[in-house]
Chain A
Amino acid sequence: MTMRGYPRADGRKGIRNVIAVAYLVECAHHIARAIVTRCEDIDVHLIGFPGCYPNEYALRVMQALGTHPNVGAVLIVSLGCESFDRKALQEAVAASQRPVDTLVIQETGGTAATIARGVQSVRRMQAAISMIRSIPMSMSDLVIGTVCGGSDGTSGITANPAVGRAFDRLGAEGAACIFEETGELVGCERIMASRAATPELGRELELSVHKALAYYTTMGFGSFATGNSEGGLTTQEEKSMGAYSKSGGAQINGILKPGDQPPTGGLYLLDVVPDGEPRFGFPNISDNAEIVELISCGAHLTLFTTGRGSVVGSAISPVIKICANPDTYRKLSADMDVDAGRILEGRGTLDEVGTEIYNAVVRTATGERTVSEELGHQEFILTYKTFEPIGPACLPMRQSPVRRP
């Protein structure tokens, strides 16, 4: 089985060839959605930002998404008076040599006219990007994220460590593997720091978790939902230890923030908690906000583990769903790609499920659709945040020659 990717001007390769229709304020959401709906194409995806106030982080993430390897072309839908810098977004996409159009509703004649123009624009883009031929892709071209959602007491003993096994193998073969949510690493900071490539990076890993703890303490809640406790989890640090096992056992090569691309293969932590004093509310208000940030770092696909049973997918990058709980799997098997809960019933081992996840990654990168893609899941959410650039100790591998064969 050969993985294939669509070549992009920056040298990256995409495992999908998606047209992103991006609204820049909630006031343009309906029109952008109507364009996507009328195109009736599984590879035309809706993304957007709801706020009218400017935000550097949101612009950076939207630029990263508009130039993501899985994206072939971008249609920008602006109301006209919002503060989002549509010119900067348009320029970033154009500079990446992708087709891009901007429709400004206030200049295009309103709802019906903008929808009609948008559909025409997407049709032209479909014709243009259908000319791009996929080429063979190696493991070192691949960036893979992982996230957990709807965790329970089974997550940390089946699906999460099985993802860890898959990550160890994928990373050793050259893929960049990203785990995240520092708020769900509270309690694991010392153990995690001991796996850092350098002592300075270890210190940064601990600091990123301290930042998360301070932030969530101000918010008044940890990253812990009612379903977590119904599923047997009692404390934040217990949930954290289970979540942490998704990272496997490899050396941690660096820390990324949203929009940063991993400079080498191997394992990276994505720091998703804003810098500075808490300003805009909870770091990630739902699982898809985390997935969007993984994609902003270049993730071609996301490994999503769930115990209680999440059904989500994502815009732009496919989601592979790995079910931790055998009872949940029986109820929601039509929403799951991998049955990891069978380990608890003696019908498989961690190594076997890890291999199954690895194989699902390869199949998805050959173009095979995941279950959530087939079901039409294209969730997307992006909200306000503030970040400082990563510090010099966060990417020790950047100083070494970057090896991406």
Chain B
Amino acid sequence: MTSDARLMLLHPEDDVFVCCSSIAAGDIFLIEGQPVCAAKAIAMGHKVSRRHLAIGAKVRKYGAPIGSMTVAVSPGDHVHLHNLASDYLPSHVLDTGNSEAKR
């Protein structure tokens, strides 16, 4: 199914797209043919959910698990530190005021 040209799928089994051109708040973009309105801006390099993901679900990117969901998400949601955590080591983040997603 078609998705937005601004979103890149790295592996057919992946649960997330990578944003390869920034999406502004309020932009409409397509996830698997379904339109979604961006609640917040999504910067280049950030991840967008491809489907519903429950708490505890393993998330795949590059076809490999990159962590587990700590908050459930819907298709088109920004997937980052506020809803995804490592299965290995916690991610330390300095609050520089730039980080749009804090834990």
Contacts and interface: CB of A to CB of B under 8 A. Distances in A.
B93 A222 contact: no
Interface residues of A, number: 37
User: In terms of DSSP, what is the predominant structure of the interface of chain B?
Assistant: loop
A152 interface: yes
Interface in A226-257: 226, 228-238, 241-242, 245
Given A229-B80, A229-B99, A236 B45 contact: no
A231 B45 contact: yes
B44 to A, nearest CB: 6
Contact of A187 (B20, B44, B65, B99): B65
A78 B81 CA distance: 48
A229 B84 CA distance: 12
B64 A186 contact: no
Nearest to A328: B44
Contacts of B46: 153, 232
Contacts of A238: 61, 66-67
Contact of A234 (B8, B80, B88): B80
Interface residues of B, number: 35
A186 B89 contact: yes
Contacts of A171: none
B81 A237 contact: no
A67 B64 CA distance: 41
Contact of B89 (A188, A236, A241): A236
Contacts of B84: 234-235
A77 interface: no
Interface string A104-135: 00000000000000000000000000000000
Contacts of A322: none
Given A221-B92, A222-B91, A234-B67, 17 more contacts: A154-B20, A154-B44, A157-B8, A186-B88, A191-B64, A213-B89, A229-B81, A229-B99, A231-B45, A234-B66, A234-B79, A234-B80, A237-B87, A238-B66, A238-B67, A307-B45, A344-B8
